[in-house]
Structure 1
Amino acid sequence: METASKTIVMGGSWGGIQASLSVLRDLPASFSIPIILVLHRLRNLEGNLQELFEKRLALKAVEIEEKEKLEPGHVYLAPANYHVLLEKDHTFSLDVSELENFSRPSIDVTFTSVADVFGKNTIGILLSGASKDGSSGLSYIFGKGGMAIVQDPEEAEVATMPISAIEIIPDCSIMKLKRIQSFLLSLHDH
């Protein structure tokens, strides 16, 4: 399988499941850019997020496993209670270190890790959420020359996360979910 030249990393908490499904649901199974999705989940709850996404998306939804390789046509879901890191060889590693911003998985940890690998070819998207997790990671992506997209707070189920990101990155792209989806479709190599 070819190595990805770009990667999309997306994060959210409260309202993030619905928001990410809205963005991803019309992307084709052949979508050319891998997508890493970090959603805050209750630590001790074994909710089957993978099944929920599999039923609604053409993309292959997989819960990330240690040393799994990043490939196009996939949505990689951060497992509950692990931080997700991306290695230089485009494989994942799972980490159980301390909570960050009261969260594990932490959006900031994954955003920063992906930006260290993909630099300016990182597209970071922060969705609805009730915490500030993701803001500094998105700012890090932006600082590396990557793209920082924030869900329009007016549309977000809970605006805390988008507002926090906009305060830290005034030059980020603020978009409604439909616009984020059409932007991602415009990046797809047919």
Structure 2
Amino acid sequence: MIELIVVGTSAGGLNALEVLLKGLPKSFSAAMAIVQHRDRHLGSQLCQVLGRYCLLPLTEPEDKELILPGRVYLAPADYHLLVEAGRGGSYFTFSHDAPVWYSRPAIDVLFKSAAYAYRQKLVGIILTGANHDGAQGIVTIKQYNGLTIAQEPTTAYSPIMPEAAIATGAVDWILPLEAIAPFLLKIWRSPSNCNLSKDI
């Protein structure tokens, strides 16, 4: 059973996230955490914009906030977003450590921490982007038996990020942008499909 989906993107990410989020119904019960590289001065504007396209509640989490099913969380500007496992459930924590791949929040930070907490109940997705952030996070997710997806680079505004993830050999599925949400619905409705892998 999928419990958490982590998504990483940078250049071209707004349009990609719009397509992804529009494809998720109100009944979708997995939680989703998103890292979008952005300027630290943008504040909560991105959250407001993405909320227009999402049928699920979409917010920027607070430090130590419990991760609830059926919600979408956007990493706040200028903080790394991490996942911690606790007795009462997993929760988010913030870090102001140095940028990773010139970015804070960084995709690798979220992906690696989520892999430790959720293991095989995690899905990691790399969308369009202009650097290699997220590639090592994808490797960690795979090491902990999670499912990994990369956007088909030819459908990405910037193919560098999905290409870097694919080059690790740790991506299970390479999908066109428009096919990612339907695929998530498929494996959500049929938990046994979570273990499907695909040669790349």
CA contact (8 A) 1:61 1:75 kept: yes
- 1:22 pairs with 19, 22, 47, which one? 19
Percent identity reads 37
Secondary structure of the 2:112 match is helix
- Once the two structures are superposed, residues 124-180 of structure 1 have per-residue CA deviations (whole angstroms, 9 ceiling, x without a partner) of 000000010000001110111111100000000000001111111255310011211
CA RMSD of aligned residues (A): 1.6
Instruction: Please name the residue that 2:115 is paired with.
Output: 115
Q: What is the CA distance between 1:187 and its match in structure 2?
A: 3.3
Partner of residue 104, structure 1? 104
TM-score w.r.t. the length of structure 2 is 0.88
Counterpart in 2 of 1:58?
55
Asked if 1:83 is matched to 2:77, the reply is: no
Structure 2: gaps of 5 or more residues: 191-200
Equivalence for 1:157:
157
Partner AA of 1:44 in structure 2 = H
Partner of 2:139: 139
Aligned-pair CA distance for 1:189? 4.8
The TM-score with structure 1 as length reference comes to 0.93
Q: Deviations over 1:6-26 (max 9, x none)?
A: 210000000112112201112
Q: Is the 8 A contact 2:149 2:171 kept in 1?
A: no
Runs of 4+ in 1 over 6 A off after TM superposition: none
Instruction: Find out whether 1:74 has 2:35 as its counterpart.
Output: no
Classify 1:176/1:129 alpha carbon distance in 2 versus 1 (closer, same or farther; 3 Å): same
How many residue pairs align between the two structures? 187
In structure 1, runs of 5+ residues without a counterpart are none
Asked if the contact 1:14–1:158 (Cα under 8 Å) also holds between the matched residues in 2, the reply is yes
Amino acid at match of 2:165: A
Does structure 2 retain, via aligned residues, the 8 Å contact 1:139–1:168? yes
- In 2, the alpha carbon distance for the partners of 1:119 and 1:75 equals 19
Distance in 1 between residues matched to 2:139 and 2:189, nearest whole Å:
27
Kindly provide the amino acid, as one letter, of the partner of residue 150 in structure 1. Answer: A
Contact 1:32-1:189 at 8 Å conserved across structures = no
